[in-house]
Amino acid sequence: MAQQLSFDLPAKTALGRDDFFVAPSNAMAVALLDPSFHWPSGKLVLTGPAGSGKTHLAHVWASQTGAKILQAGDLQEDQVPDLAQAPVVVEDIPAIAGNRETQNALFHLHNLVLSNGHALMLTGRAAPNLWQLSLADLQSRVQAATHAELQAPDDALLAVVLAKLFNDRQVTPKPDVIPYLVAHMDRSFAAAAVIVNQLDSMALSEGRTLSRPLAVRLMSQERPIDLLQVTKNVAYSGD
């Protein structure tokens, strides 16, 4: 069959509360993000593997509290006074582990947000004691925060994640595709994102429906999942 032209259109990721599936692996984190729950320290560290829903939950919490969201690497000192006027989410803190200037800005933001009576959420993949921030005062404050961990998915959650990833791409697979993938794929959110991306690309380029035979062909390849693509292809709640 001749290949058809395909267009790599960006997936529209749904980030509403109703789009997030609560499972045993994330139930504690979801409970801690309820607006009625006040974190003892006024701050929360939310961690979990790539694609586990950290960004999704951050957006849910921000929509409920009016919090501002930014990437740690984008934080600058002159932004701190304005950001500290409301609750704040700073994502991917480990990315600034080697940047002393940005860590200083985050340290000042941390102190000012809390002194103004607002809440602060910080996210990263590993547990906070592994973030290795070079600014000791910031590292100690991070480790003093309430910690919510999003764990690896069980079968039910993995199936829902796959369904959501397909839906974000406006793709409807045949009913037997997702059960097959759950039974044969690596058990991670990142793998789910890459598989959905590759299946969608295969179906588009070959002009086929997204069927089990297509999934079987992908999964039977020697290296069906290129995990180097994970940072580009994780569509389930960003990170």
Count CA atoms closer than 13 A to 216's CA, side-chain side.
Answer: 5
pLDDT of 6 reads 29
pLDDT of 175 reads 95
pLDDT tens-digit series, residues 83-126: 999 999 999 999 999 999 999 999 999 999 999 999 999 999 99
How far out from the chain centre does Cα 101 lie? 25
User: What letter does residue 24 receive in the DSSP assignment?
Assistant: T
pLDDT of 232 reads 42
Which contacts qualify for 223-229: CB closer than 8 Å, 24 or more apart?
Answer: 224/195, 224/198, 225/185, 225/186, 225/191, 225/194, 225/195, 225/198, 226/194, 227/190, 227/191, 227/194, 229/194, 229/197
Its pTM stands at 0.70
Chunked mean pLDDT (size 10), the chain, 239 residues: 32 47 77 86 92 85 94 97 98 97 98 97 96 97 94 83 90 94 86 90 91 93 51 43
